[in-house]
Structure 1
Amino acid sequence: MASYTHFSDEELIALIRERDHSALSEVYNRHWGILYIHALKMTHEESEAQDIVQDVFINLWTNIDKLDLKLNLDVYLFSAVRNRVLNSIRNRKTREGYIDLFSLYVEQHSLDAIDYISEKELLQSIEEIIAALPEKMRMVFELSRRGNKSHKEIAKEMGISEKTVKRQVSNALKILRDKLNRPESLIISIIFYHYR
């Protein structure tokens, strides 16, 4: 199977129009994580966020010839997720607190394409900082955050103490926080949801 990792989004869309499943998989892998983060921030429900993003990609595949993709694919996908979240919130109108929920969404999440692009840039910055960490710290951090391993498992695998593992992870997060000037909770959530 051909590798599409170096293809542009525009090239992948052209291949999807030709019903190339591998091209769709590449678009999915490239954009799923960041779209999921946005959906989760809006819905606060993991399963709902997953369903919304999944529906966006299903729609991309089934209706590719009907979609207006003159805009950047990032912008289209971001808008599609946002619109589906809005629809989901509207569909809750029979539930208690609908008006408050909708008002809260509009107040907190009146997002535009700039938010989506900025978050992608943040993710790229995180990647660059992680790559530049001292080797042992980087290995510990990646096993912890990307490999989802416990401190005990990492200590055993690398032949170091659990205390050292904890310190290395803490130091890596401090470096990320200081270099990015962003809250640690935001950095952790982006790393966790992008690499889950």
Structure 2
Amino acid sequence: MDDVALTIQLKQGNQLAFTILYNTYSNQAYRLAFKYLCNKELAEDAVQNLFMKIWTKRDYLDERRPLNHFLFTVLKNDILNILRDSKNNIFVLDDCLELLERIDDDQVDDEIDREQLDMIRRAIDRLSPQRRKIFSLKISGQYSNQEIADKLHLSVNTVKFQYSQSLKQIKELIRQCAISLLL
């Protein structure tokens, strides 16, 4: 079924057409959402919201416009909203950091993981040298705050503060990078 026929069928409330639409685009939509959100649950929610919006707003579909453009515009806007929502940013950052901790270059098979890892590395590279060192030691999981402080001749409070600021800076840089890639 081509896009025009599919759109017409959707507008008429045909559930089979909706199933075809979902089967055709859901995997691609999920991969795109996960690429920018780095979070399985948020990506799944974004895709679910996408298809709910398509079904509830099906009367507004225009059969003269490519259906995939409409789908991915709606998805892009949802992803941007999720990235702009501060309560979700911590989940995105946590999952991106988890990805960074568990993946080294030899294990990166998936193009999405590689792009996410590159985005995280670019954000880490923009940290000051001291913050980058504290951050690297901390996420390695091998050092306590006290051990990092001793190693770098800093106070424990400085280590805690610099790590906290590093997380904020990385979160913001990842958010900006993801948003700029979507726009």
The TM-score with structure 1 as length reference comes to: 0.47
Percent of matched pairs sharing the same residue: 26
Q: Secondary structure at the match of 2:58?
A: coil
From the CA coordinates, give the structure whose radius of gyration is larger: 2
Within the alignment, does 1:107 sit opposite 2:177 as a pair? yes
Any residues of structure 2 matched to 1:110-125 within 5 Å, and which? 110-111=180-181
The TM-score with structure 2 as length reference comes to: 0.50
- RMSD after superposition: 2.7
Any residues of structure 2 matched to 1:147-162 within 5 Å, and which? none
Structure with bigger RCO (C-alpha 8 Å, 6+ apart) = 2
- Structure 2: gaps of 5 or more residues: 91-166
Is residue 17–residue 64 contact of structure 1 (8 Å, CA) maintained in 2? yes
Query: How many angstroms apart in 2 are the aligned matches of 1:106 and 1:93?
Result: 16
Letter in 1 for 2:55: W
Any residues of structure 2 matched to 1:151-190 within 5 Å, and which? none
Listed one character per residue, the Cα deviations across residues 115-146 of structure 1 (whole Å, up to 9, x for unaligned) are: xxxxxxxxxxxxxxxxxxxxxxxxxxxxxxxx
Q: Secondary structure at the match of 1:110?
A: helix
Partner of 2:69 in structure 1?
A: 75
Within the alignment, does 1:33 sit opposite 2:24 as a pair? no
Listed one character per residue, the Cα deviations across residues 3-22 of structure 1 (whole Å, up to 9, x for unaligned) are: xxxx0122111001000000
Partner of 2:83 in structure 1?
A: 89
Partner of 1:15 in structure 2?
A: 9
Partner of 2:45 in structure 1?
A: 51
What is the number of residues matched between the two proteins?
107
Is residue 53–residue 81 contact of structure 1 (8 Å, CA) maintained in 2? yes
Distance 1:102 1:16, change over 3 A: farther
Distance 1:10 1:94, change over 3 A: closer
Greater share of helix? 2
Query: How many angstroms apart in 2 are the aligned matches of 1:43 and 1:75?
Result: 20
Per-residue deviation, 1:65: 1.6
Is residue 35–residue 78 contact of structure 1 (8 Å, CA) maintained in 2? yes
